[in-house]
Amino acid sequence: MSEEKNPRKGPRSKRVLNGYRVRLRNSLEFKADAYQNRSRENQMRGLKRTTNTLDEAEYYSGGLRSGDGVAGVFTDGFWNNNPVLFNALGISIILGAADSVKKAFAVSVIVLIVLTAAELVTSLFCRNAEAPSRMTAYVLTSALTILLIGGFMAYRMPSLLASLGIYLPLIAVTGLVTVRCESFAAYNKPVFALADAVGNSLGFAVVCIAIALVREFFGTGMVFSMGRPNSFPAANYPFFSFILIGLLTAGAQYSRALKMRRKSSAKEVSNNG
């Protein structure tokens, strides 16, 4: 809060970040009474930060959770602030393309390449650019990367390309690329942008492959060509994936709350001691 009062303190990069933070806090209506009440109740129950709606403002501001440095940025993207589980990014790709483990793996690799290219370009060339030109830069970068990947796949693995269908080009504008570039890479150095890209794509890959495993098992009865063929077509419908992602998110949120509680109780013990 003290940062809000004195946005002119600190080096230039921090000042820019603070200004952005203040603007975002004003723009996001995170002061809604309902959320405040709920978070107060949760605090009374010993849980902190259980609603993502509140976290969104902090998330956009680029504040780190897992400590400073490259490793902190990486852990943040990979698990502590997982793009799918805590921020609902890249859901359409998971819904469309993650119905078998092979496709999920391919999509994850493509996301890694595209996100790395887009974040690096944004961080290297567009840190001082205006919003429209910055957006154009990273959308076109990811589009170009996808064009190259599509060309390569058409030459080497045409069947996989055909099975990905419309979801390969959609990676270029998925929230995973646009939000990460807009909220992180546009305000940070290339090294951090690289760590963020790798961490986020690995975090995406873990969730994507986990969902693909369940969907493939229920949809075909076989995983990695093992098991008995058995069909439950509901697994290929979007509602199955939505509910699955919801349950995974609830689990992740529960584990995060547990971790927070453990941390705060450890702090209390050390304060009392």
Residues 97 to 156 in contact with other proteins, rule: CB under 8 A: 131-133, 135-136, 139-140, 143-144, 146-147, 150-151, 153-154
183 token code pair: 């909220």
Report 201-230 residues binding other proteins (CB under 8 A): none
The DSSP annotation for 119-164 comes to HHHHHHH-TTS-HHHHHHHHHHHHHHHHHHHHHHHHHH-HHHHHHH
Q: Is 90 in the site for other proteins (CB under 8 A)?
A: yes
Question: Nearest Cα to 97, choosing from 223, 181, 211?
Answer: 211
Site residue total, other proteins (CB under 8 A): 75
CB of 10 to other proteins, least distance (A): 27
Which of 17, 57, 73, 95 forms a contact with other proteins (CB under 8 A)?
A: 95
* Positive or negative: CA dihedral 154, 159, 165, 169: negative
* Phi/psi of residue 226, nearest 5 degrees: -115, 150
Q: Is 253 in the site for other proteins (CB under 8 A)?
A: yes
Report 23-62 residues binding other proteins (CB under 8 A): 27-29, 34-35, 38, 42, 45, 47, 50-53, 56
Which of 254, 263, 265, 267 forms a contact with other proteins (CB under 8 A)?
A: 254
* Phi/psi of residue 61, nearest 5 degrees: -70, -10
Residue number with CB closer to other proteins (155 or 270): 155
CB of 165 to other proteins, least distance (A): 7
Contact 76, 199 (CB under 8 A): yes
Question: Nearest Cα to 115, choosing from 97, 100, 93?
Answer: 93
Q: Is 19 in the site for other proteins (CB under 8 A)?
A: no
Q: Is 264 in the site for other proteins (CB under 8 A)?
A: no
CB of 234 to other proteins, least distance (A): 4
Which of 69, 237, 259, 263 forms a contact with other proteins (CB under 8 A)?
A: 237
Residue number with CB closer to other proteins (131 or 191): 131
Question: Nearest Cα to 195, choosing from 180, 173, 178?
Answer: 180
Which of 15, 64, 72, 92 forms a contact with other proteins (CB under 8 A)?
A: 92
**Long-range residue pairs from 120-127, CB within 8 A, at least 24 positions apart, any chain:** 120/185, 120/190, 120/193, 120/194, 120/197, 122/181, 122/185, 122/186, 122/193, 123/185, 123/186, 123/188, 123/189, 123/190, 123/192, 123/193, 124/190, 126/186, 127/186, 127/187
CB of 9 to other proteins, least distance (A): 27
Residue number with CB closer to other proteins (70 or 88): 88
Report 159-178 residues binding other proteins (CB under 8 A): 161-162, 165-166, 168-170, 172-176, 178
Torsion of CA 246, 251, 257, 261, to 10 degrees: 170
CB of 60 to other proteins, least distance (A): 10
CB of 220 to other proteins, least distance (A): 14
